[in-house]
């Protein structure tokens, strides 16, 4: 089983494009308080894509829908469009090193009302220059991995795994895979600059027995994959 896997993405242009897009989005939010979501106000983080409650159908996250301010929807759409190249790169990384997990997630269907913006992943989280206290992601897939990509121009913000006594000095464009449900993790303060991260993950309920039954009843649904 993978504990911590650190590597580089195969498309640095995608890294640059994603960094510019998130940086622009971040400062737009700082300059326009009415565009800030509740999660941005509270945690300097937002979640895009789809969630699912146990036994229910998938639904679009409130950050994706911009339910707090409809005028902000275009900002979200522009951001997610700009992130497609880096999502392509992350998908290729997973397919290369974790083919079984890639195949498993490829079989997930969201139904007709939830787009597959991030390839095999239903959801991403974007952290905006935030210090994350040590935690387990108790709602993540307990048998899977999350994939974190560091972006920005920064010093510090090392990713820490206290159970393993490991400190990962992430560089922009690097990706780290680890079991977020099992491993306690957090990051140190940023010493200089601005650090963003995109986390690709799967909520545990997407792999529940009830959701498997939903798959069986929707065999005609097509998976919208990101095109290389």
Give every strand in the sheet of 186-187, ordered side by side.
166-168, 159-161, 186-187
pTM score of the predicted model: 0.88
Rounded CA separation 219/41 (Å): 40
5-216 classified as CATH 3.60.130.30: yes
pLDDT for res 213: 52
CA-based end-to-end distance of the chain: 29
With a pLDDT cut of 70, the percent of the chain lying above it is: 88
Q: How far is CA 228 from the centre of its chain?
A: 19
Q: How does residue 219 score in pLDDT terms, banded at 50, 70 and 90? A: very low
Give every strand in the sheet of 146-156, ordered side by side.
5-8, 174-178, 146-156, 190-201, 123-128, 45-51, 59-60
pLDDT for res 50: 87
Burial class (CB in 10 A: 0-12, 13-18, 19+), 23: middle
Q: How does residue 212 score in pLDDT terms, banded at 50, 70 and 90? A: low
Using one digit for the tens of pLDDT, what is the confidence trace for 38-91? Answer: 999 888 999 999 887 655 677 888 899 888 888 999 999 999 999 999 999 999
Using one digit for the tens of pLDDT, what is the confidence trace for 172-201? Answer: 999 999 999 999 999 999 999 999 999 999
């Amino acid at each position: 089983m993978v504990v911590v896997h650190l590597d580089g993405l195969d498309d640095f242009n995608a890294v640059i494009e994603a960094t510019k897009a998130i940086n622009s989005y971040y400062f737009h939010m700082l300059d326009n308080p009415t565009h800030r979501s509740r999660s941005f106000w509270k945690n300097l983080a937002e979640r895009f894509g789809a969630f699912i409650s146990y036994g229910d159908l998938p639904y679009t996250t409130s950050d994706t829908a911009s339910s707090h301010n409809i005028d902000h929807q275009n900002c979200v759409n522009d951001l997610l469009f700009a992130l497609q190249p880096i999502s392509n790169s992350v998908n290729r990384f997973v397919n290369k090193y974790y083919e079984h997990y890639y195949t498993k997630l490829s079989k997930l269907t969201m139904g007709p009302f939830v787009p597959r913006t991030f390839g095999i992943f239903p959801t991403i989280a974007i952290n905006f220059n935030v210090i994350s206290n040590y935690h387990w992601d108790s709602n993540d897939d307990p048998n899977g991995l999350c994939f974190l990509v560091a972006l920005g121009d920064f010093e510090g913000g090392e990713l820490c795994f206290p159970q393993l006594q490991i400190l990962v000095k992430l560089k922009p464009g690097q990706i780290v895979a680890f079991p977020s449900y099992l491993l306690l993790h957090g990051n140190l303060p940023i010493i200089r600059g601005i650090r963003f991260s995109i986390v690709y993950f799967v909520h545990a309920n997407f792999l529940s027995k009830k959701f498997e039954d939903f798959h069986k009843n929707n065999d005609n649904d097509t998976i919208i994959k990101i095109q290389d």
